Protein backbone atom coordinates (compact mmCIF):
# COMPACT_ATOMS: atom_id res chain seq x y z
CA UNK A 1 0.00 0.00 0.00
CA UNK A 2 1.45 3.39 -0.98
CA UNK A 3 1.41 6.41 1.32
CA UNK A 4 -1.61 8.01 -0.35
CA UNK A 5 -3.69 4.84 0.02
CA UNK A 6 -2.59 4.44 3.64
CA UNK A 7 -3.55 8.01 4.55
CA UNK A 8 -6.92 7.82 2.80
CA UNK A 9 -7.68 4.49 4.44
CA UNK A 10 -6.86 5.86 7.91
CA UNK A 11 -8.98 8.98 7.37
CA UNK A 12 -11.98 6.87 6.33
CA UNK A 13 -11.51 4.54 9.30
CA UNK A 14 -11.65 7.57 11.58
CA UNK A 15 -14.93 8.58 9.95
CA UNK A 16 -13.54 11.83 8.56
CA UNK A 17 -14.44 13.33 5.19
CA UNK A 18 -11.87 16.11 5.17
CA UNK A 19 -8.12 15.50 5.24
CA UNK A 20 -5.82 17.56 7.41
CA UNK A 21 -3.69 19.92 5.35
CA UNK A 22 -0.50 18.02 6.23
CA UNK A 23 -2.16 14.79 5.01
CA UNK A 24 -3.30 16.40 1.76
CA UNK A 25 0.16 17.83 1.13
CA UNK A 26 1.82 14.47 1.80
CA UNK A 27 -0.41 12.87 -0.84
CA UNK A 28 0.27 15.70 -3.28
CA UNK A 29 4.02 15.27 -2.82
CA UNK A 30 3.74 11.54 -3.55
CA UNK A 31 2.07 12.43 -6.86
CA UNK A 32 4.75 14.91 -7.86
CA UNK A 33 2.66 17.98 -7.03
CA UNK A 34 5.00 20.63 -5.55
CA UNK A 35 3.85 22.10 -2.24
CA UNK A 36 5.23 24.75 0.07
CA UNK A 37 7.40 23.03 2.68
CA UNK A 38 5.28 22.33 5.77
CA UNK A 39 5.98 20.54 9.05
CA UNK A 40 3.74 19.74 12.02
CA UNK A 41 4.66 21.16 15.45
CA UNK A 42 3.07 20.02 18.71
CA UNK A 43 4.77 22.58 20.99
CA UNK A 44 5.99 26.21 20.70
CA UNK A 45 9.62 25.10 21.00
CA UNK A 46 9.14 22.53 18.25
CA UNK A 47 7.59 25.24 16.07
CA UNK A 48 10.68 27.43 16.56
CA UNK A 49 13.00 24.55 15.72
CA UNK A 50 11.06 23.78 12.53
CA UNK A 51 10.90 27.46 11.55
CA UNK A 52 14.68 27.72 11.84
CA UNK A 53 15.06 24.58 9.72
CA UNK A 54 12.61 25.81 7.07
CA UNK A 55 13.94 29.36 7.12
CA UNK A 56 12.24 32.63 8.04
CA UNK A 57 9.75 34.08 7.31
CA UNK A 58 7.18 31.36 8.00
CA UNK A 59 3.42 30.90 8.23
CA UNK A 60 1.64 29.18 11.12
CA UNK A 61 -1.65 27.33 10.55
CA UNK A 62 -3.86 25.49 13.01
CA UNK A 63 -4.25 21.76 12.33
CA UNK A 64 -7.65 20.47 13.43
CA UNK A 65 -10.19 18.08 11.86
CA UNK A 66 -12.89 20.41 13.22
CA UNK A 67 -11.56 23.58 11.54
CA UNK A 68 -11.98 23.57 7.77
CA UNK A 69 -11.69 27.31 7.11
CA UNK A 70 -8.61 28.16 9.13
CA UNK A 71 -8.50 31.88 8.31
CA UNK A 72 -12.07 32.40 9.51
CA UNK A 73 -11.11 31.05 12.95
CA UNK A 74 -7.95 33.16 13.28
CA UNK A 75 -5.96 29.99 12.77
CA UNK A 76 -3.48 31.43 10.28
CA UNK A 77 -0.66 33.91 10.96
CA UNK A 78 1.68 34.89 8.15
CA UNK A 79 5.10 36.47 7.70
CA UNK A 80 6.66 35.55 11.06
CA UNK A 81 10.25 36.72 10.86
CA UNK A 82 11.98 35.44 14.00
CA UNK A 83 11.82 33.00 16.92
CA UNK A 84 9.97 35.42 19.22
CA UNK A 85 7.20 35.96 16.66
CA UNK A 86 6.86 32.19 16.14
CA UNK A 87 6.55 31.54 19.89
CA UNK A 88 3.89 34.23 20.22
CA UNK A 89 2.16 33.16 17.00
CA UNK A 90 1.92 29.51 18.08
CA UNK A 91 0.03 30.47 21.24
CA UNK A 92 -2.06 33.00 19.34
CA UNK A 93 -3.43 30.54 16.77
CA UNK A 94 -4.32 28.13 19.60
CA UNK A 95 -6.13 30.86 21.54
CA UNK A 96 -7.96 32.10 18.43
CA UNK A 97 -9.09 28.58 17.51
CA UNK A 98 -10.28 27.74 21.03
CA UNK A 99 -12.22 31.01 21.11
CA UNK A 100 -13.78 30.21 17.73
CA UNK A 101 -14.57 26.58 18.56
CA UNK A 102 -13.90 25.53 22.17
CA UNK A 103 -14.63 21.88 21.33
CA UNK A 104 -12.25 21.68 18.36
CA UNK A 105 -9.74 18.84 18.51
CA UNK A 106 -6.31 20.38 17.94
CA UNK A 107 -3.60 18.17 16.42
CA UNK A 108 -0.92 20.85 16.37
CA UNK A 109 0.28 23.80 14.33
CA UNK A 110 1.62 23.64 10.80
CA UNK A 111 4.86 25.54 10.25
CA UNK A 112 5.08 26.46 6.56
CA UNK A 113 7.53 28.35 4.44
CA UNK A 114 6.37 31.80 3.39
CA UNK A 115 6.35 31.38 -0.38
CA UNK A 116 7.61 34.36 -2.34
CA UNK A 117 4.80 36.22 -4.14
CA UNK A 118 4.20 35.65 -7.83
CA UNK A 119 1.31 34.80 -10.15
CA UNK A 120 -1.40 32.80 -8.36
CA UNK A 121 -3.48 30.10 -10.00
CA UNK A 122 -6.05 27.63 -8.71
CA UNK A 123 -5.98 23.96 -9.63
CA UNK A 124 -8.55 21.45 -8.51
CA UNK A 125 -10.70 18.44 -9.23
CA UNK A 126 -14.28 17.45 -8.54
CA UNK A 127 -16.13 14.16 -9.01
CA UNK A 128 -19.26 14.80 -11.05
CA UNK A 129 -22.11 12.27 -10.61
CA UNK A 130 -22.58 12.06 -14.38
CA UNK A 131 -19.13 12.55 -15.90
CA UNK A 132 -16.87 11.33 -13.09
CA UNK A 133 -13.70 13.18 -12.07
CA UNK A 134 -13.01 16.49 -13.78
CA UNK A 135 -9.91 18.68 -13.45
CA UNK A 136 -10.19 22.47 -13.11
CA UNK A 137 -7.79 25.35 -13.79
CA UNK A 138 -8.01 29.12 -13.38
CA UNK A 139 -6.06 32.18 -12.35
CA UNK A 140 -6.39 33.05 -8.68
CA UNK A 141 -7.91 36.04 -6.94
CA UNK A 142 -10.54 38.11 -8.75
CA UNK A 143 -10.35 35.93 -11.87
CA UNK A 144 -11.89 33.01 -9.98
CA UNK A 145 -14.01 34.81 -7.40
CA UNK A 146 -15.61 37.47 -9.63
CA UNK A 147 -15.00 36.57 -13.26
CA UNK A 148 -15.41 32.79 -12.85
CA UNK A 149 -12.58 32.46 -15.39
CA UNK A 150 -11.90 28.70 -15.19
CA UNK A 151 -11.62 25.73 -17.53
CA UNK A 152 -12.54 22.06 -16.97
CA UNK A 153 -11.62 18.73 -18.54
CA UNK A 154 -12.92 15.26 -17.72
CA UNK A 155 -10.10 13.07 -16.31
CA UNK A 156 -7.87 11.44 -17.28
CA UNK A 157 -6.13 14.28 -19.10
CA UNK A 158 -2.96 14.36 -21.19
CA UNK A 159 -0.31 17.07 -21.26
CA UNK A 160 -1.93 18.44 -24.44
CA UNK A 161 -5.29 18.60 -22.63
CA UNK A 162 -3.62 20.44 -19.76
CA UNK A 163 -2.08 23.01 -22.09
CA UNK A 164 -5.47 23.57 -23.73
CA UNK A 165 -7.01 24.11 -20.30
CA UNK A 166 -4.39 26.74 -19.50
CA UNK A 167 -4.84 28.60 -22.79
CA UNK A 168 -8.65 28.43 -22.53
CA UNK A 169 -8.91 30.93 -19.67
CA UNK A 170 -9.40 34.56 -20.66
CA UNK A 171 -6.56 35.67 -18.41
CA UNK A 172 -4.06 33.39 -20.22
CA UNK A 173 -2.07 36.35 -21.64
CA UNK A 174 -1.12 37.26 -18.05
CA UNK A 175 0.69 33.92 -17.72
CA UNK A 176 2.86 34.78 -20.70
CA UNK A 177 4.27 37.80 -18.89
CA UNK A 178 3.25 41.44 -18.77
CA UNK A 179 4.99 44.72 -17.91
CA UNK A 180 7.53 43.92 -15.19
CA UNK A 181 6.05 40.48 -14.46
CA UNK A 182 8.02 37.55 -15.93
CA UNK A 183 6.25 34.71 -17.76
CA UNK A 184 4.89 31.85 -15.66
CA UNK A 185 6.15 28.28 -15.94
CA UNK A 186 3.45 26.82 -18.21
CA UNK A 187 5.24 23.45 -18.31
CA UNK A 188 5.03 23.16 -14.53
CA UNK A 189 1.34 24.10 -14.45
CA UNK A 190 0.58 21.48 -17.11
CA UNK A 191 2.48 18.83 -15.16
CA UNK A 192 0.56 19.63 -11.98
CA UNK A 193 -2.75 19.35 -13.84
CA UNK A 194 -1.78 15.93 -15.26
CA UNK A 195 -0.65 14.73 -11.82
CA UNK A 196 -3.90 15.93 -10.20
CA UNK A 197 -5.73 13.94 -12.87
CA UNK A 198 -3.72 10.83 -12.00
CA UNK A 199 -4.40 11.29 -8.31
CA UNK A 200 -8.19 11.49 -8.63
CA UNK A 201 -8.23 8.63 -11.15
CA UNK A 202 -6.24 6.41 -8.79
CA UNK A 203 -8.40 7.17 -5.75
CA UNK A 204 -12.13 7.04 -6.34
CA UNK A 205 -12.78 7.96 -2.70
CA UNK A 206 -11.70 11.55 -3.43
CA UNK A 207 -14.74 13.77 -3.98
CA UNK A 208 -12.95 17.11 -4.27
CA UNK A 209 -9.38 18.41 -4.42
CA UNK A 210 -8.43 22.05 -4.17
CA UNK A 211 -4.97 23.62 -4.54
CA UNK A 212 -5.49 27.30 -3.87
CA UNK A 213 -3.39 29.19 -4.41
CA UNK A 214 -0.63 27.62 -6.45
CA UNK A 215 2.08 30.25 -6.77
CA UNK A 216 3.75 30.00 -10.17
CA UNK A 217 7.21 31.37 -10.83
CA UNK A 218 9.25 31.85 -13.96
CA UNK A 219 10.67 28.44 -13.06
CA UNK A 220 8.63 26.09 -10.88
CA UNK A 221 5.53 26.43 -8.72
CA UNK A 222 4.31 25.69 -5.18
CA UNK A 223 0.86 24.87 -3.84
CA UNK A 224 0.49 26.96 -0.70
CA UNK A 225 -2.72 25.33 0.49
CA UNK A 226 -4.11 21.87 -0.26
CA UNK A 227 -7.57 20.53 0.56
CA UNK A 228 -8.97 17.06 -0.12
CA UNK A 229 -12.58 16.03 0.61
CA UNK A 230 -13.69 12.39 0.50
CA UNK A 231 -17.02 10.93 -0.60
CATH of the domain at 180: 3.30.470.20
Indicate whether 73 and 155 sit together in one domain.
no
Indicate whether 145 and 217 sit together in one domain.
yes
Residue 179: CB atoms within 10 Å: 4
Give the pLDDT of residue 183.
Answer: 96
CA distance 119 to 139: 8
- The answer to whether residue 30 is domain-embedded is no
Indicate whether 155 and 78 sit together in one domain.
no
Question: What's the mean pLDDT when you consider all of the chain?
Answer: 95
Indicate whether 100 and 189 sit together in one domain.
no
Indicate whether 156 and 143 sit together in one domain.
yes
- The answer to whether residue 178 is domain-embedded is yes
- Total domains in the chain come to 2
Q: Which domain holds residue 157?
A: 119-230
Indicate whether 123 and 97 sit together in one domain.
no
Q: Which of 80, 114, 148 is the last residue of a domain?
A: 114
- The answer to whether residue 24 is domain-embedded is no
- The answer to whether residue 3 is domain-embedded is no
Give the pLDDT of residue 148.
Answer: 85
- The answer to whether residue 10 is domain-embedded is no
Q: Which of 98, 114, 130 is the last residue of a domain?
A: 114
Structure-model confidence comparison of residues 87 and 177, the more confident one: 87
Give the pLDDT of residue 145.
Answer: 76
Q: pLDDT tens digits, residue range 102-149?
A: 999 999 999 999 999 999 999 999 999 898 999 999 998 777 877 789
For 24-54, letters b (16+ CB in 10 Å) and e give bbbbbbebebbbbbbbbbeebebbbbbbeeb
Indicate whether 85 and 137 sit together in one domain.
no
Indicate whether 143 and 58 sit together in one domain.
no
- The answer to whether residue 106 is domain-embedded is yes
- The answer to whether residue 5 is domain-embedded is no
Residue 174: partners with Cβ closer than 8 Å, 6 or more residues away: 119, 139, 181
Q: Which secondary structure element, helix H or strand E, spans residue 6, and what is its range?
A: helix 3-13
Q: Is the pLDDT of residue 24 over 80?
A: yes
Read off the pTM: 0.94
Amino acid sequence: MNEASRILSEVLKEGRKSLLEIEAKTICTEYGIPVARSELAKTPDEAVKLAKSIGFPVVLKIVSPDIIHKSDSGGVIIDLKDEKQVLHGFNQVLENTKRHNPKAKIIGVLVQEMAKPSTEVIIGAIRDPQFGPAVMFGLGGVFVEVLKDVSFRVAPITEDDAREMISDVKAYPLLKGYRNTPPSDINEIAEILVNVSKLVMDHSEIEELDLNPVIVYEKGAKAVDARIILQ
